[in-house]
Amino acid sequence: MAKVRFLVVGVGGMGQAHIRSLLAVPDAEIVALVDPSPPALQRAQSLSPRLAGVPQFASLRDALASVRADAAVIVTPHSQHFEQGMACLDSGLHVLMEKPFVAGSENARRLIDEAKARRLHIAVSYQRHTEGPYLYLKRLIDEGTLGEIRFVSAYQAQSWLESQRGTWRQNKTLSCGGQLNDSGSHLLDVVLWLTGLEPQAVLARVDNRGTEVDIDSALTVQFAGGAVAVFSIVGSANIAWWEDVSIHGTQGSALYRNGELLVSTGLNQPLTRVDADQLPAESSPDADFVDLVLGRVPAAAAPAECGYRVARLTEAAWQSAEAGTWVPFAAQA
């Protein structure tokens, strides 16, 4: 195919971000916009003159029946992801899914298996897999520069309680979970992806802060081999955004500080800032997915298995918080 033809399913804030990203990819073409909200469709279509003639649909079913496409990017409330993903696979479309993939690890496994059976690509839009600092960290760990990973501390703070109050994200029926399942899923994913460690058990404490979904979460995760990670996910913060990831190994440490990366190798050696010109080239989940569909890369930057692993860890954390005890991991399917 000359270009990958996309349906954009869900054209709210994040949907519009994907539209802008796809418009910047020469080998991508948006062939339909899907959303039940006419004002949202209008706003999305106004993003570029190139979208002027693109058809709009209130339902995915109508779009699938009317438009020839190769792929879909799904950016809707989390509870809708599984059904919409299956519908797209049934129509022969590759699927790029916004985080946190789908509701529940069982649904994640079913969707992955269905895509595999149909020989279609499915991936998660975890953008840290395409960002320079995290790609640099991944290379450090994979090359063994930090030695054996012993301890990880991951911290995220966001004014999510107030900024999302009254939206679908704090409606449990639509979101299927709170901050841990939303922005927090990025933090769980990036630690699992960077380290390659396999969780063995999790202990968690969750506070809903008077809402029906989790807002603040504290997790301790034990991994096979003895490594430990602690996650602090603060949705009740009064700041817009902050993210820290500290990784300590037998040969060195790497500290990501909200965009700045510091590395120390050897014993008691000073931390050195990694300058921008030392970082790998960045991409985007949308550009990476186009390359995947066109056969230019062998695997997605964030394969759907990443979404499955995050779903399993999230479920174990919720179970632990409810029971007030450690929850062991069963063998993965």
Band of the pLDDT at 329, cuts 50, 70, 90?
confident
Share of the chain above pLDDT 70, in %: 99
- Report domain extents, the chain: 4-127, 128-278+302-328
Query: Structure pTM?
Result: 0.94
How much is the pLDDT for 70? 98
The CATH number of the domain covering residues in 128-278+302-328:
3.30.360.10
Band of the pLDDT at 333, cuts 50, 70, 90?
very low
How much is the pLDDT for 79? 94
Band of the pLDDT at 177, cuts 50, 70, 90?
very high
Q: What does the pLDDT average to over 88-108?
A: 96
How much is the pLDDT for 330? 73
The string of pLDDT tens digits covering residues 16-43 is: 999 999 999 999 999 999 999 999 999 9
Whole-angstrom Cα distance, residue 275 to residue 273?
6
How much is the pLDDT for 315? 96
How much is the pLDDT for 331? 53
Closest to 185 (Cα-Cα) out of 282, 271, 307, 85: 307
Reported in sequence order, the residue ranges of the chain that DSSP labels E, i.e. its strands, are: 4-9, 28-34, 56-57, 71-74, 94-97, 122-124, 149-157, 199-207, 216-223, 228-234, 242-249, 252-257, 260-265, 272-273, 327-328
Q: What does the pLDDT average to over 36-57?
A: 96
The string of pLDDT tens digits covering residues 190-245 is: 999 999 999 999 999 999 999 999 999 999 999 999 999 999 999 999 999 999 99
Q: Distance from CA of residue 83 to its chain's centroid? A: 18
How much is the pLDDT for 332? 52
HSE, side-chain direction, 13 A CA sphere, residue 49? 0
Average pLDDT, the chain: 96
Whole-angstrom Cα distance, residue 251 to residue 220?
23
Which residue shows structure tokens 């602090």? 232
Q: Which CATH architecture has domain 4-127?
A: 3-Layer(aba) Sandwich (3.40)
pLDDT of 296 higher than 70: yes
Least reliable range by pLDDT among 101-105, 252-256, 288-292? 101-105
